[in-house]
Chain A
């Protein structure tokens, strides 16, 4: 409370108490008490002096007549009423206005209660005083009815006069009407419901029975949702560890506990439900029968578990570590399938009829399931959005805010959650927010795994209190709890205690657990479950008994237990009868309405985008990585080798082919790294969201949307900067398309490994394994013709390389750059003709002639090996001649007969040699013609006035010699190669249109082919290759969708480690 407000309050107190007879000693004591609460010792004196000054305390002792408040006495009306001075009235207004500006409505209510208490402390309720207070309440904007309620609550000492529906009386009077409270079987209350004969006139106030002397009165103030309590009586009632003074008003805050002298505990949640009358208890039955669970390695995790519960229960699961608590919870929640027995919710099997109970089960694991980059509010908001498709924005916002407020997180809603190491909200708040994620959709059956671990005792109690409150609203809640405090322990309706090896050893009332174990072991004070004086229960005691060790003759504890798990289990089977809850026949209440898949994708995308945008580091690295790499790479390889001068000329940069490969590698690398961690990071969140039956496809699509966008930006910046520095003109979009495609493929591959492996480290180790083969088989570093014989095929790209995106991408880029650059593009088709004719006239025909000569010389030699060669050569010649369209001179011969071992003779030889001569001439002519045409076109361009054209300038700008050498393969020694009965053209692959598809689906060609054949059609290499990469992307998406990689890896795991877990 600020000094200013405290001063204002002091004055208010003074103004009120100086009315009508002035302040009494009791009232002054009250004020002192108030100061003691708010201030340190030194300041009390200061404020008390201030108060005394305002109230005129000293003067009062001397004589009352001096008092200012009565100065208006002369103008007394007939009734001799003393009047409040007008100055005090206006002053009061001023003070209230000041308070209005700083205090919240809740605080103002507390101030009002204090003022009323002050007046009530000496029961001096004169009309003047009450009028002032009434005015204060109206300036505070407290509604009339509520003021009446508060006034009655604070001042009234006769409980029968308190007839408000927002008042709850707690006393030992028997319950008069319907046994509202008997529903809950809280063990801490021994309700006497049988003696209900005494009629009490309590028409409006609520009533709750507890064995105490006097009355505890609770008040709810609806407008601010606050609870106050006061006690009238002489028992020692303890509120949150402090003794309650009689007739003193206390704030009954969230999670408060009241203890009575005889050891009853009244919990906040118990009492709050008394005020919430319009509760609909959902019909839920939960039956787990004869459950057994085997671990994959064969070890038994649970033995013969029977649990049967109805709605509105808070069930604790306890046990030594390793007893199988979490296993039990997972089995009950349907995450793990029991090996025997079945679990039915309203008669529906949790493992086989999941669709029927969709959204009924909620699961809060120990893991932290928050999205670190989002704020508290956003975490909850997007979660809610995925649960409630039919809710409007406003309703959604309200629901989120309600949950946040009820968990005390509303003040923190704009804080970023942050990682566990980089905390912005506390551990308790994290835990509560995790719980909120499930709470918001209010599942009918909730499973919670150790909600209190790592929390302070205060936070732990808040959390359990919250769960208790939920159970009171009709939810069935199972909680695995570890080392609960006495207060927490007592909040449970039932305890399920397990012993090592999955043996159930207790199922029932928590307090009785203590007595049960004491009785079984014949302990002295077996009947006493809790401490008589402080009502505390020590749950540790239970485990001390269960795990008690045998002592050897030297008094040393041995490792042997007095009673082993099986024996405990025998006792259990003997003592406990299992009562099955009748299966409810209606469908369980479903609080879930999942949005359509498209909408889910949208929500996922927005959520992820916001998370990514708020992670500045991630964003910076990812956005700067590409331009930076481009800058470094391009700068280093900007090589000046111009033969004429010092300036940089694109045409003579030898590094362009390598640059293309590097840009592909960079795209792959960026694509992989950006996606590799995506799914791993979300795995825990996905586990929880699996209870919502959200679409995996939508999730993946949202990931792809974001990753593809990121890749598009990265590759675009890379190409822009790289091409700018290296002066690669006119290739921006076409290069980008290839790199983007490659990057997208890498994204999907990255998601695949991200979904398959468990840790980010593994994933990053895998990346080189994926990248290096891409580099090896890209076609640039190692010539496809010079690979290991096992994989290499001459004249065709090897199969293994076909599986590499890098090879397709590289070919696409190189072919496109060579064919479509502004210089080459107009001349390409002439050059193609030129080169084809040239190849035939100068290499092919020569080779064929040589073969014919060889055949002619050797056909009659009777040697098997020679005959084989001759046969092969005949086939080669036949094949080649068949491809020629011009058959002039040989039209009369049947090549099939003439070019066979039997049909070949010197006459045929002569004929064919002559034919080849004419063919050669024909190709020479064609060559010359093409050259002529090309030069003509060149001349035309140079002379044309429309375009500013200079052959050399254009060539310098757009054409790269090094790349040209590469795609024309001019360095090759043997321009024509004979391989496996075929003559293969080695030179000029870029001008060599593949002409021999083996079958319709044959897509294979030599590297740098200008066109590709498939399904009897020809496609441009650039587009064909891009489509191939996209098809790969789709295939990988399918494996991702079915998580094939993960399944394969899991199946390896199963084979390898049969005896891992114990």
Chain B
């Protein structure tokens, strides 16, 4: 399976989806112009991954900020991950960033996935 690797920028997060090496990560800031368009490749990749996933997957979110439109798409990503067996989420937040911690908690209530919270 191809690796999806997008370098982060001021408005877009860094993305690394690598099945072979077991790296699944979304990090940085997410406030793209058109968030639906930006997230589409990620959703496509997950859909492809779902047909032949690793026995267990640890998906890492290490976000500094995301806007409302992105939040909807992150939820879509999480919903897509819900269908994959052996999926777990690792949610990183800065130790001072209460908001990001609470956002992670809210997400964990919206989807049925095991969440692990870590600070950095």
Contacts and interface: CB of A to CB of B under 8 A. Distances in A.
Pair from one complex: yes
Interface of A: 71-72, 75, 77, 83-94, 97, 128, 131-132, 134-135, 138-139
A139 B66 CA distance: 17
B48 interface: no
Nearest to B99: A87
B38 to A, nearest CB: 14
9 contacts: A86-B100, A87-B99, A87-B106, A89-B68, A90-B75, A92-B71, A93-B71, A93-B75, A97-B110
A89 B66 contact: yes
Interface string B3-22: 00000001100000000000
A138 B64 CA distance: 24
A89 B110 CA distance: 13
B52 interface: no
B106 A94 contact: yes
Interface in B49-108: 63-72, 75, 99-100, 102-103, 106-107
Contacts of A84: 67-68
B110 A135 contact: no
Given A72-B99, A89-B71, A135-B72, A83 B110 contact: no
A132 B67 CA distance: 9
B71 A72 contact: no
Contacts of B109: 94
Given A72-B99, A90-B103, A91-B106, A83 B65 contact: yes
A93 B65 contact: no
A90 B106 contact: yes
A131 B99 contact: no
Contacts of B107: 90
A135 B10 contact: no
B68 A75 contact: no
Ranked nearest first, the 3 interchain pairs of A and B with the lowest CB-CB distance are: A89-B71, A90-B106, A86-B103
Nearest to B100: A86
A1036 B63 CA distance: 89
Contacts of B106: 87, 90-91, 93-94
B110 A93 contact: yes
Contacts of A94: 106, 109-110
Contacts of A132: 68
Contacts of B70: 89
A86 B31 CA distance: 11
A75 B64 contact: yes
SS class, residues of chain A in contact with chain B: helix
A77 B75 CA distance: 24
A135 B75 CA distance: 12
A23 to B, nearest CB: 18
Given A72-B99, A92-B68, 11 more contacts: A77-B10, A83-B65, A83-B67, A84-B68, A85-B99, A89-B66, A89-B103, A90-B75, A90-B107, A92-B71, A135-B68
Contacts of A86: 63, 65-66, 71, 99-100, 103
Contacts of B10: 77
Contacts of B99: 71-72, 85-87
B79 to A, nearest CB: 10
Nearest to B106: A90
Contacts of B103: 86-87, 89-90
B69 A131 contact: yes
A814 B103 CA distance: 93
B110 A139 contact: no
Given A71-B99, A93-B110, A135 B65 contact: no
A134 B67 contact: no
Contact of B71 (A71, A77, A90, A128): A90
A68 to B, nearest CB: 9
A389 to B, nearest CB: 47
B67 A131 contact: yes
Contacts of B67: 83-84, 89, 131
Nearest to B71: A89
A187 B29 CA distance: 64
A139 B65 contact: no
Contacts of B65: 72, 75, 83, 86
Nearest to B66: A86
A128 B103 CA distance: 17
Given A87-B102, A89-B103, A91-B106, A138 B72 contact: yes
B103 to A, nearest CB: 4
A101 to B, nearest CB: 12
A135 B69 CA distance: 6
A128 B68 contact: yes
Nearest to B30: A86
Contacts of B71: 86, 89-90, 92-93, 135
Contacts of B69: 131, 134-135
Contacts of B110: 90, 93-94, 97
Contacts of A72: 65, 99
A136 to B, nearest CB: 9
Nearest to B64: A75
A139 B68 contact: no
A669 B26 CA distance: 85
A94 B109 CA distance: 8
Most buried by A among B31, B63, B65, B109: B65
Nearest to A84: B68
B28 to A, nearest CB: 12
A462 B85 CA distance: 55
Contact of B68 (A71, A97, A131): A131
B76 to A, nearest CB: 10
Contacts of A83: 31, 65, 67
Contacts of B11: 77
A72 B96 CA distance: 12
A90 B75 CA distance: 8
A93 B75 CA distance: 8
Nearest to B98: A87
B111 to A, nearest CB: 10
Contacts of B68: 84, 88-89, 92, 128, 131-132, 135
A97 B109 CA distance: 11
